[in-house]
């Protein structure tokens, strides 16, 4: 398990009509920070850590990765970056740096919340 803490909430990252959370570590460029949830790992995850069936727990709410893009683990390991989609069409193609999660309700995060990643 890898743990992370939410340290900043971008002002445009929490719109309820957008079923996506964009995670990024503190290296996120200024232009992206407003749409991201900035988080900090307790320890960097190993490469190829996340896969279909992995769990993510946001402030106590558990989600399952249903699909994951082919470069998502690279960007997650190097930059803490992954785009997480919660309300997706079953026939949609997952983007390279993204993952589809279920259930399809997007969690509401606040600064200080924990995120757990379980392979």
Q: For the chain, how many residues are written? A: 119
User: What confidence tens digit (pLDDT) does each residue in 16-62 have?
Assistant: 778 999 999 999 999 999 999 999 999 999 989 999 999 999 989 99
Architecture, CATH, for domain 2-118: Beta Barrel (2.40)
User: What confidence tens digit (pLDDT) does each residue in 79-88 have?
Assistant: 999 999 998 8
What burial letters (b/e) apply to 66-77, b meaning 16+ CB within 10 Å? bbbbeebbebbb
Residue 40 Cα distances to 4, 29, 71, angstroms = 5, 15, 20
The pTM score is 0.94
């Amino acid at each position: 398990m890898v743990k992370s803490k939410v340290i900043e909430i971008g002002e445009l990252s929490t719109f309820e009509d957008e079923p996506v959370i964009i995670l990024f570590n503190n290296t996120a460029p200024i232009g992206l920070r407003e749409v991201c949830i900035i988080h900090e790992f307790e320890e960097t995850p190993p490469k190829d850590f996340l896969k279909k069936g992995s769990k993510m727990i946001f402030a106590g709410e558990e989600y399952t990765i249903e699909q994951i893009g082919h470069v998502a683990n690279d960007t997650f390991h190097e930059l803490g970056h992954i785009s997480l989609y919660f309300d997706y069409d079953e026939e949609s193609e997952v983007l390279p740096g993204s993952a589809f999660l279920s259930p399809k309700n997007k969690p509401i995060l606040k600064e200080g919340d924990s995120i757990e990643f379980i392979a």
